Amino acid sequence: MTTSAIAPSLLAATVQDLRRHAPFSEMEPRHLEWMAGRLQLAYFPAGATVLEADAGAPEWFYVVKQGSVEAGGAAADSVIKLLAGECFPLGALLAGRAVANQYRAAVDSFCYLLSAADFHALLEQSAVFRDFCTRRIASLLEQSQKAVQSEYALRQDEDARLERSLVSLCPRAPVSVTGGTPLSAALQAMHDARVGSVAITDEARRPLGILTLKDVLSRVTLPGLALDTPIESVMSAGPISLPTGATAREALLTMARHSIHHLLLVADGKLAGVISEKDLFAIKRMSVQGITAAIAGAGDIEALQRAGRDIAALAHNLLAQGMRAETLTELIATLNDHLTRRLIDLEIGALQLPQAKWCWMALGSEGRMEQTLATDQDNALIFAPGNGDDVETLRETLIAMARRINQGLDACGFPLCKGFIMASNPKWCLTVDEWRAQFSRWIDAGGPEELLNASIFFDFRPLYGEAALAAELRTWLTTKIQGNPRFLKQMTQNALRNVPPLGLVRDFVLSEDAEHPHTLDLKLNGSMPFVDGARILALAAGQPATGTAQRLKQAGQALRIPDAEIASWTQAFHFIQLLRLRHQHGQERRGQAPNNHLNPDTLSVLDRRILKEAFRQARKLQARLALDYER
Amino acid sequence: MIWPLARRARVTLAPDEARRLAALKAAPQPDPRTPLADLRWVVVDVETGGLNPYADPLLSIGAVEIRNGQIRLGGGFEAGLQQAAVTSHENILVHGLTHSLQRSGMAAGSALLNFAEFAGGGPFVAFHAGFDRTALAVAMRKALGWDFPGRWLDAAVIAPLLFPRLAGACRSLDDWLAALSIENYARHSAVADAAATAQLWLILLEAATRQHIRTLKEMEKLAQARKWLGL
């Protein structure tokens, strides 16, 4: 029986009907005809289920022809009404996942149906249709992250709660007094309001300090201070504060970073609230603070090893809960910083160190605060010998110390660096002058090895000790590079050699090496182009930041790159980081050693599409570098 | 065998057309016990040169199929038939088939074979099915010497039985489309009318299922009941 019959007038009529709505109105006639030739038309009486939630990947792409279809969960307020011309379920089809919502006909309705296979074929053919889908990349990205959560069967609303603004979490008006208030009155006010802290402000309600109950014990009760003492003499001055619009997540990060339990909220420079760790714990039963406290109280390497494991567990947990990559990597870095600092504390406590100035520096991803779950250590030492100090003797002492620290870090879950980029390597335990000479050599030579070193070392960040030494080195480096356009050019040429693995025919160009066949290297091909690009832009703009997102932001402003471009790059970078974290998370759950080699076939269609878009962004960033610095 | 009522002319077919016709004659007919949802419905609309299906020439055939409760919009059938004589001016206004279009159509024999192959034995649905059925039968007999078999259901008969409340107000296809709020496009090409009827049929199938009419046989019985009831 022949089925090749075509009815041109029916096809034309269908095309004409579709054309009344976007994106079909914009599509090329041949694509629209192709689509119309594959459409089915189905009827759904009011109340009929069009698509069942969790019924496997959808078979059809739907366009409402007439009537209305409702999509929604159990809650009545979350129902979305889809009218004529609207398409569904876009996200589920792209991701190849079951729809999250049930779709029901609200009234008697007809829908056009296109098979999932034809939908994907259309996506490939029609740039307009594809753009229509990818234009919603942000909202799709959100869905992708939500899917991560459901994948690990965790409550979806937790991330949303972390995104809540602090002011919405503030349970009560802040208790505040002026600086001259006697302690007795301030403590009475705290007691009456049953709160653990009091904010101190000036007459204009600008915050001056904070006093917590814990402070009262150590600063008032134990020293036996008279209660008529003005509160300003015992308060913690210069309190840490956040704007009221900041999110719970930012508050958690800030508390973790500063090891504090209370934060002031300010609006227009005036005190607007006080938020405590307890308030945040109420919305999030996770213990960044617990780990921070455990690290601070750790008396031996075993305690730090436990903390190291806790950090990994917490990171996995937060990842599973759908925390964003940028927050998570920063949180991991912050906690790792705490751990490293405590470890150094413990190690130098056991040593007799000379009175020289020195600073422990974090390099590479740790320097950029972009650590993933698979992180080895990259560190170095800078020191300034005092008058009469013998440099070599001092170096030997510091190297001995560094060796213990490197081994300690190894024991805590940060493997020794395979390339020996560690402070215990005499090559990387240098005086201020030696570092300058070293950096100068790299900048002047500009060979492949020098450029590789520069890419690791120029992301240095002080972690312990005399931070000023690292800060001065940073200032010197920034000035030095400003006068060396040739070096920027060489760095750019080197960075441009790392081409994003976008294929002409297939989606991606895959590695065929024996060890990791059919994979993409998400670090080398994924995040590296962004990291390298941001470094070049930051160095060119003379900006001191080391984090990639921060670098892009700072340099973008200085170099007048459009905000939208910067935002796209940042988003793309964070997406790749998220993929890396998810990949490593999965590997660790399966008992494998985490790496960065991902088989793209294991990604959903949606994630593949976004990854492709992220690579395109890398290409755009590289195009800008080529234009500005390669010549 | 010689058909006693034969008004049919002696028909000589080209060898490949004869082969196609033989294959069509040998093809199975749908089992009346088939559940409604499992049937492949062929919804038909024909245009003729006048209002008398026995006498007026068949101008065009449009058809769409319904399978698994879905109209295959992309797989519709449409054919204009070559005309020896051009039809009257009034009909052009109704159908929009201009003189040149009428002359440019496909030879009747091959158009009808194509249609029969597309239809694959039905069952057939049309609005005022008697008209379409007769026009097709006459044309088939004339061009192919074939008594076109098939089970037919008339949407114009079934609709008032399943929606008795609307029966009084609805006579034409347009009435029913309006009453059941079916939006349709570009009417008055045979295939677009067939698509419109097919949309009506989807609604009728759904209503039939709700009234526990499950098979083709039961649907046919419903249509016959109407005759006995004298509706």
Which of A377, A381, A391, A368 lies closest to A423, judged by CA? A381
Domain boundary among A114, A135, A156: A135
User: Is the minimum CB–CB distance between B73 and chain A shorter than 8 Å?
Assistant: yes
pLDDT value for B170: 82
In the numeric block, the tokens 């009469």 are attached to A388
Residue of A nearest to B68 (CA): A42
| In-domain check, residue A32 | yes
Beta-carbon separation of B206 and A36 below 8 A = no
Nearest-neighbour CA in chain A from B132: distance (Å): 18
User: Is the minimum CB–CB distance between B44 and chain A shorter than 8 Å?
Assistant: no
Give the separation between CA A231 and CA A209, rounded to whole angstroms: 9
In the numeric block, the tokens 């020896």 are attached to B84
**How do strand A270-276 and strand A262-267 relate by DSSP bridges?**
antiparallel
Give the separation between CA A553 and CA A550, rounded to whole angstroms: 5
User: Which residues, 6 or more positions from A537, have their beta carbon under 8 angstroms from its beta carbon?
Assistant: A551, A552, A555, A556, A559, A561, A625
- The class of domain B33-229 in CATH terms is alpha beta
CA atoms within a 13 Å half-sphere pointing along the CA-CB vector of A296: 11
Coil, helix or strand at residue A248: helix
Coil, helix or strand at residue A257: helix
CA atoms within a 13 Å half-sphere pointing along the CA-CB vector of A480: 18
A78 residue type, one letter: S
The answer to whether B30 touches B122, Cβ cutoff 8 Å, is yes
Which of A147, A42, A267 lies closest to A604, judged by CA? A147
Coil, helix or strand at residue A39: coil
pLDDT value for A371: 81
Domain boundary among A285, A316, A336: A285
Give the separation between CA A29 and CA A343, rounded to whole angstroms: 67
pLDDT value for A618: 92
User: Which residues, 6 or more positions from B63, have their beta carbon under 8 angstroms from its beta carbon?
Assistant: B42, B43, B44, B45, B76, B77, B78, B115, B118, B119, B191, B194
- Helices A137-151 and A127-134: crossing angle in degrees, nearest 10, is 60
Helix or strand holding residue A330 (H, E): helix A325-349
Give the pTM: 0.48
Burial (0-12, 13-18, 19+ Cβ within 10 Å), A422: buried
Per-residue H/E/C for A192-205: HHCCCEEEEECCCC
Pair of tokens at residue A517: 């066949």
Which stretches in chain A have pLDDT values below 50? 1-5, 74-78, 137-159, 284-286
User: Which residues, 6 or more positions from A392, have their beta carbon under 8 angstroms from its beta carbon?
Assistant: none
- Partnered with residue B124 across adjacent β-strands are B42, B152
Verify that A621 and A561 share a domain, yes or no. Answer: yes
Verify that A129 and A226 share a domain, yes or no. Answer: no
Residue of A nearest to B121 (CA): A1
Name the region of A413 (left: φ>0; alpha: ψ -120 to 50; beta: rest).
left
Sign of dihedral through CA atoms A348, A354, A359, A362?
A: negative
CA distances from B78 to B94, B105, B194 (A): 18, 11, 10
> Where do runs of H (alpha helix) occur along A163-287?
166-169, 183-193, 213-215, 248-258, 277-283
Give the separation between CA A424 and CA A433, rounded to whole angstroms: 18
CATH for A42? 2.60.120.10
User: Is the minimum CB–CB distance between B80 and chain A shorter than 8 Å?
Assistant: no
Structural domain count, chain A: 3
Give me the numbers of helices (H) and strands (E) for chain B, helices first please: 10, 6
Cβ-based neighbour number of residue A68 at 10 Å: 17
User: Is the minimum CB–CB distance between A630 and chain B shorter than 8 Å?
Assistant: no
Give the separation between CA A178 and CA A83, rounded to whole angstroms: 59
Verify that A602 and A490 share a domain, yes or no. Answer: yes
Of A7, A17, A113, the CB nearest to B70: A113
CATH for A171? 3.10.580.10
Give the separation between CA A283 and CA A160, rounded to whole angstroms: 10
pLDDT value for A152: 37
Verify that A224 and A94 share a domain, yes or no. Answer: no
Verify that A179 and A95 share a domain, yes or no. Answer: no
| In-domain check, residue A15 | yes
Which of A588, A585, A572 lies closest to A533, judged by CA? A572
Beta-carbon separation of A41 and B73 below 8 A = yes
Verify that A106 and A175 share a domain, yes or no. Answer: no
Nearest-neighbour CA in chain A from B179: distance (Å): 12
**How do strand B152-154 and strand B124-126 relate by DSSP bridges?**
parallel
Helix or strand holding residue A326 (H, E): helix A325-349
Dihedral Cα A138, A143, A145, A147, nearest 10 deg: -160
Verify that A492 and A603 share a domain, yes or no. Answer: yes
Helix or strand holding residue B173 (H, E): helix B173-179
Verify that A627 and A553 share a domain, yes or no. Answer: yes
Q: What is the ipTM of this complex?
A: 0.80
Give the separation between CA A44 and CA B206, rounded to whole angstroms: 9
Domain containing residue A259: 166-285
> Where do runs of H (alpha helix) occur along A350-380?
364-368
Burial (0-12, 13-18, 19+ Cβ within 10 Å), A43: buried
Beta-carbon separation of A3 and B186 below 8 A = no
Dihedral Cα A336, A342, A348, A350, nearest 10 deg: -130
User: Is the minimum CB–CB distance between A6 and chain B shorter than 8 Å?
Assistant: yes
| In-domain check, residue A274 | yes
Break chain B into its structural domains and give their ranges. Answer: 33-229
Beta-carbon separation of A7 and B77 below 8 A = yes
pLDDT value for A76: 42
Verify that A105 and A30 share a domain, yes or no. Answer: yes
Domain boundary among A228, A259, A285: A285
A414 residue type, one letter: F
Verify that A173 and A91 share a domain, yes or no. Answer: no
pLDDT tens sequence across B32-66: 888 988 889 999 998 888 778 887 888 888 899 99
In the numeric block, the tokens 């190297």 are attached to A399
Name the E strands within A548-620.
597-598
pLDDT value for A361: 96
The answer to whether B214 touches B36, Cβ cutoff 8 Å, is yes
Task: Specify the long-range contacts of residues A213-216, CB closer than 8 Å, at least 24 apart.
Answer: A214/A261, A216/A187
Verify that A130 and A170 share a domain, yes or no. Answer: no
Q: Which of A9, A21, A24 to mutate to test the interface with B (most CBs of B within 10 A)?
A: A9
What's the pLDDT band for B88 if we cut at 50, 70, 90? low
CA distances from B61 to A16, A38, B65, B86, B87 (A): 22, 21, 13, 17, 16
pLDDT value for A154: 31
A247 residue type, one letter: T
- DSSP category for residue A511: B
pLDDT value for B231: 45
Verify that A184 and A271 share a domain, yes or no. Answer: yes
User: Is the minimum CB–CB distance between B31 and chain A shorter than 8 Å?
Assistant: no
| In-domain check, residue A570 | yes
**How do strand B58-67 and strand A379-384 relate by DSSP bridges?**
unpaired
Give the separation between CA B201 and CA B107, rounded to whole angstroms: 30
Mean pLDDT is lowest, of A193-207, B1-15, B161-175, for: B1-15
User: Is the minimum CB–CB distance between B186 and chain A shorter than 8 Å?
Assistant: yes
pLDDT value for A34: 92
